[in-house]
């Protein structure tokens, strides 16, 4: 079997050549007041993947069906030299409200979806963080 090295955050392993990486990274931390802030990053390298405009339309339609008390908000302004779309929403989850920004990015060989979530009181922080994420985004060589 022909294998290649796959690099993860803390380890590397041999995997069959020709694999397709569908990893989802889920990062979270707590603020000083104990609130949860989260970032989920997904990638799609499928050659038949939808465009970011199609992803955005699909997501917005699903938000309306699945998220209680959905309120669509003005997304933060970002600079990104590749096709992208942003959705900013506020919705009710259990007994709390969530502010969420979802960034859809079209790169040469993949789509990337980054979802930033926190309580609405952290909106300014999330919006700033989305901008920093965009400024720092860099595609490395394949694993």
Domain ranges of the chain: 20-136
The correct answer on CATH 3.40.1000.10 for the domain covering 20-136 is: yes
What is the band of 90 on the pLDDT scale with cuts at 50, 70, 90? very high
Asked which of 2-6, 10-14, 44-48, 122-126 is least confident by mean pLDDT, the reply is: 2-6
Percentage of the chain beyond pLDDT 90 is: 63
What is the band of 89 on the pLDDT scale with cuts at 50, 70, 90? very high
What is the band of 8 on the pLDDT scale with cuts at 50, 70, 90? confident
Percentage of the chain beyond pLDDT 70 is: 97
pLDDT at 124 over 80: yes
Query: pLDDT at position 20, please?
Result: 78
- The better pLDDT of the pair 46, 85 is held by 85
Question: Which residue shows structure tokens 């993860």?
Answer: 8
Query: pLDDT at position 143, please?
Result: 47
Torsion of CA 121, 34, 131, 69, to 10 degrees: -50
- The better pLDDT of the pair 82, 2 is held by 82
Task: Output the average pLDDT for the chain.
Answer: 90
pLDDT at 142 over 70: no
């Amino acid at each position: 079997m022909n294998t290649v090295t796959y690099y993860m955050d803390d380890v590397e392993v041999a995997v069959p050549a020709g694999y397709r990486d569908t990893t989802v990274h889920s990062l979270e931390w707590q603020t000083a007041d104990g609130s949860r802030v989260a970032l989920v990053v997904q990638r799609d390298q499928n050659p038949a993947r939808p465009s970011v405009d199609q992803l955005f339309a699909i997501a917005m339609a699903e938000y309306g069906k699945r998220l209680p008390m959905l309120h669509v908000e003005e997304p933060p302004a970002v600079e990104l030299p590749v096709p992208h779309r942003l959705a900013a929403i506020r919705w009710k989850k259990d007994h709390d409200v969530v502010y969420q920004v979802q960034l859809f990015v079209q790169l040469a060989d993949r789509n990337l979806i980054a979802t930033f979530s926190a309580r609405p009181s952290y909106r300014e922080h999330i919006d700033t963080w989305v901008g920093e994420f965009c400024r720092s985004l860099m595609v490395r060589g394949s694993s």
